Structure 1
Amino acid sequence: MRFLVDTPGLVISHDAANDWLYCDWRGQHDQESSQAACLLMLEALRGQPCRKILNDNSGVTRQTMQLTLWGAWWLEEMTAAGLQYLAWVFPRDFMMRQHTEQALQHMQRPVVVAFDDVASAYVWLQQRP
């Protein structure tokens, strides 16, 4: 794995064996820090084009963010940068889980699927073309 971004709240690396980005979120995040981290993901994807991302939020200790119009814009930008599949591992105590899962069901591009653990997300992502 080659590190692309290393901040206290987010570490992004390129997994060359699988040719995807691994985004490891850590600590506490609110709407502002989540958006800043998402912009780092977009920058990393533009710098290291990949079709897949393993978005691991299992290390998030507290998250108070919501999917908003900004989030829809961000996903459009990620798609334009080449993203096709995003495996999203939710934090353990994600209060907006049900709302987020319902919103994800209506998305067509990129394909975003939520998981409870990294292992399941990893397997699913490996099975994508």
Structure 2
Amino acid sequence: MQLHLLSKTPCLSIYYDSKNNWLFLDWEGELTLPAVQVACVELARCFLHRPYPRVLNNNTQVTGVSWSVATWLVREFLPHLPLAGVEQVAWVSSASLLGRNMVQTVVNWLPWLSATLFDDLEAAVHWLRQVQTSGTTGFLLPQRLPATQAKLAQTVQELQRKVAAAAPPHQPVARRWSGLA
């Protein structure tokens, strides 16, 4: 993998993997609902710049997560992935039994989500390299129609508004670095 940091929050590092042409999400630590909400807003902002049909979602460094996170993801964030252009997700679960159960439950709640679960990063990388997406040929960047881009921008703005309204005043601010976008 050739990773280029796009954005970072206390619990999520978002990278573009230029070798494999996918988004790599590296989660870590205790995932609280406010921290995940801030991280997901940062992730949504990355999708504004371009579609990423393939996503490698790594939870191996997650030490804990509450069920409120799973519920929020299912209701407020994950349903928008198709609009963002996501077609395939390789989801590596944490080693904890609760973490694995939660990921499986989230995937079961969203049967339309094309997510394949893995126990280790190597297997997920191997699988995702084999997956073809409808919007890409080789390593050409997929494009969005202007109407889809406008709807995505509106959706991201609404997500930001909801998260800001729910955040406590001391909520950490995500750090952004300019990178490949």
TM-score, normalised via structure 2 length: 0.63
Equivalent of residue 73 in structure 1, options 76, 98, 121: 76
Contact 1:92/1:116, CA 8 A, preserved across alignment: yes
Q: 1:80 to 1:89 in 2, by over 3 A?
A: same
Query: More deviation in 25-34 or 78-87?
Result: 25-34
CA deviation map 1:36-81 (0-9, x unaligned): 2222222212224210110111111222244225524312212101
Identity, in percent, stands at: 28
Q: Distance in 2 between matches of 1:69 and 1:13?
A: 23
Q: Distance in 2 between matches of 1:126 and 1:105?
A: 24
Which structure 2 residues correspond to residues 23-62 of structure 1 after superposition, within 5 A?
23-62=25-64
Q: Distance in 2 between matches of 1:94 and 1:30?
A: 18
1:83 equivalent to 2:107? Answer no
Deviating beyond 4 angstroms after TM superposition, the runs of 4 or more aligned structure 1 residues are: none
The CA RMSD measured in Å over matched residues stands at 2.0
Task: Write 1 or 2 for the structure with the bigger share of strand.
Answer: 1
Gaps of 5+ in 2: 133-181
Larger Rg computed on CA atoms = 2
Aligned length: 129
Larger relative contact order (C-alpha < 8 A, sep ≥ 6)?
2
Q: Distance in 2 between matches of 1:59 and 1:107?
A: 24
